[in-house]
């Protein structure tokens, strides 16, 4: 079975030409109709004037030569042998009736002294245009003679067609010139995109913006959208590079430890059990490092995507997040509590990302506060309509000199020998940045460590 033919991509040039050429062809036909109608109207005016003049001329000749039972040879010659072929006529006397012609076709009797009347008469074979004129009889002042002369419309239509045929070549030449101008104009106009195409063609791995001064205003929305895409892609690639560098940096030490203890176990079978214990601890540390690196990577990916955050009720979410960690905190000897409002407290955020943020703050309290201590998670509104999440403990705290370095990757407070990678607060910083929040570090009222995360109000609350 043959595969379907691939669809032809849309062409901007073809679309523009069709949009311009088809209406112009329609306008050409419309112009021909209008030209013919105008030519016919002009021909009718000329012929009507000639017809009226001819009736007046016949009336003048009748006054000169008179009329008895038939027309004089001069008058008959004027009517029957006129170049326009006026062979439909009638001359009617009010007293004597039809003197000559075809009286059955003409029934209009204008008043004496009026200009010739023009009207149409339908005969069995033709539609006639008739001019009628009434005058006193030259040989009987009490009598009235009405002269009616009619002609067919063939010569009128023939003259209109001649005018149309004369105008069509000139109009066609004009249309062809305009079409060529449109064709070359569209082709020349699209060449303004060539510098942009050339810049993109020369690029290999650059993700800098492509919008420049030579970009036409009509495609600025397209180039700016591409610039935004490049910016998101650049952030994603930078996040990937940082992730790979962090993974290589952090996994180097555990892998070296794996090799060392494996070689020690092979060299001395008596040390196998002790080496396996060391390998188990290194495995736990490697797993923790991998999980935290993945958490940072997920936060950076969300930040690079730049997607709109959904509306989230912190007052409904945070208590459940804290409750999940209470058993683990009790096992570590930490009294974990929660204080928060009863009313909804909305922000825009990801529930999973906020769970990671809170988990890292609680992990930090469990590791650095120590057994027998307490930690509290507090949630409350901010004056600007946002929300404030605070995690504080009554542990030894962090020296003021080291506070500015908190949040750096792999930084750990000197003198602490417990498990840790130095990535927990870095993850908190990344997730806070994703939500447009600010993170501050300080001392709690009990002298321990305090982390405050201030979330901005939701967009619906800040819009006018």
**Alpha helices, DSSP H only, in 416-458?**
424-434
* 124: in domain: yes
pLDDT at 437 over 70: yes
Same-domain check for residues 358 and 450? yes
Among 283-292, 335-344, 366-375, 437-446, whose mean pLDDT is lowest? 283-292
Same-domain check for residues 275 and 417? no
Domain encompassing residue 439: 308-462
pLDDT of 1 reads: 46
What CATH number is associated with residue 146?
3.30.450
Once rounded to an integer, what is the mean pLDDT over residues 354-364? Answer: 84
Same-domain check for residues 63 and 35? yes
**Alpha helices, DSSP H only, in 191-219?**
194-202
Once rounded to an integer, what is the mean pLDDT over residues 8-23? Answer: 70
- CA dist 334 and 325 (Å) reads 11
Residue 332's SS3 state is coil
Once rounded to an integer, what is the mean pLDDT over residues 17-31? Answer: 77
Q: Using one digit for the tens of pLDDT, what is the confidence trace for 208-228?
A: 777 777 677 767 777 788 778
pLDDT at 134 over 80: yes
Cβ contact 95:140 at 8 Å? yes
Same-domain check for residues 113 and 35? yes
Same-domain check for residues 98 and 231? no
| Run of H or E including 419 | none
Q: How many domains does the chain have?
A: 3
| Run of H or E including 80 | helix 73-80
What strand order describes the sheet that includes 438-443? 334-339, 373-381, 387-393, 449-455, 438-443
Same-domain check for residues 78 and 150? yes
Same-domain check for residues 299 and 324? no
Residue 244: pLDDT band with limits 50, 70, 90:
low
Q: Using one digit for the tens of pLDDT, what is the confidence trace for 112-132?
A: 878 898 888 887 777 888 888
Residue 68's SS3 state is coil
Same-domain check for residues 275 and 381? no
């Amino acid at each position: 079975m043959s595969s379907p033919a691939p669809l032809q991509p849309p062409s901007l040039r073809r679309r523009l030409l069709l949009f311009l050429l088809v209406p112009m062809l329609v306008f050409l036909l419309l112009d021909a109709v209008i030209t013919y109608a105008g030519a016919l109207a002009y021909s009718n005016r000329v012929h009507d004037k000639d017809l009226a003049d001819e009736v007046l001329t016949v009336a003048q000749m009748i006054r000169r030569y008179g009329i008895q039972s038939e027309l004089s040879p001069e008058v008959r010659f004027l009517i029957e042998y006129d170049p326009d072929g006026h062979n439909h006529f009638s001359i009617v006397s009010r007293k004597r009736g039809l003197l000559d012609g075809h009286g059955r076709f003409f029934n209009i009797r204008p008043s004496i002294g009026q200009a010739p009347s023009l009207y149409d008469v339908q005969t069995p074979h033709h539609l006639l245009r008739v001019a009628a004129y009434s005058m006193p009889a030259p040989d009987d002042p009490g009598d009235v003679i009405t002269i009616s002369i009619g002609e067919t419309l063939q010569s009128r239509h023939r003259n209109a067609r001649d005018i149309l045929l004369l105008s069509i070549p000139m109009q066609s030449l004009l249309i062809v010139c305009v079409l060529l101008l449109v064709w070359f104009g569209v082709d020349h106009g699209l060449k303004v995109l060539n510098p942009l195409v050339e810049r993109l063609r020369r690029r290999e791995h650059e993700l800098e913006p492509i919008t420049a001064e030579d970009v036409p205003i009509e495609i600025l929305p397209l180039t700016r959208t591409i610039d935004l895409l490049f910016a998101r892609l650049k952030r994603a690639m930078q996040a990937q590079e940082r992730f790979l560098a962090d993974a290589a940096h952090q996994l180097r030490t555990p892998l070296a430890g794996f090799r060392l203890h494996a070689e020690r176990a092979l060299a001395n079978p008596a040390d196998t059990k002790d080496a396996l214990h060391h390998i188990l601890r290194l495995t736990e540390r490697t797993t923790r490092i991998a999980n935290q690196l993945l958490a940072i990577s997920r936060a950076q990916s969300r930040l690079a995507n730049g997607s709109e955050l959904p509306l989230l009720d912190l007052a409904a979410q945070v208590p459940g997040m804290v409750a999940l960690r209470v058993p683990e905190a009790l096992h570590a000897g930490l009294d974990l509590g929660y204080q928060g409002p009863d009313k909804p407290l909305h922000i825009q955020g990801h529930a999973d990302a906020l769970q990671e943020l809170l988990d890292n703050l609680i992990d930090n309290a469990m590791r650095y506060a120590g057994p027998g201590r307490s930690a509290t998670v507090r949630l409350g509104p901010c004056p600007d309509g946002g929300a404030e999440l605070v995690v504080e403990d009554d542990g030894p705290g962090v020296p003021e000199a080291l506070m500015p370095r908190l949040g750096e990757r792999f930084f750990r407070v000197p003198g602490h020998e417990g498990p840790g990678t130095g990535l927990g607060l870095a993850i908190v910083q990344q997730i806070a940045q994703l939500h447009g929040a600010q993170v501050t570090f300080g001392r709690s009222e009990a002298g321990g460590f305090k982390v405050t995360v201030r979330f901005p109000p939701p967009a619906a609350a800040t819009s006018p």
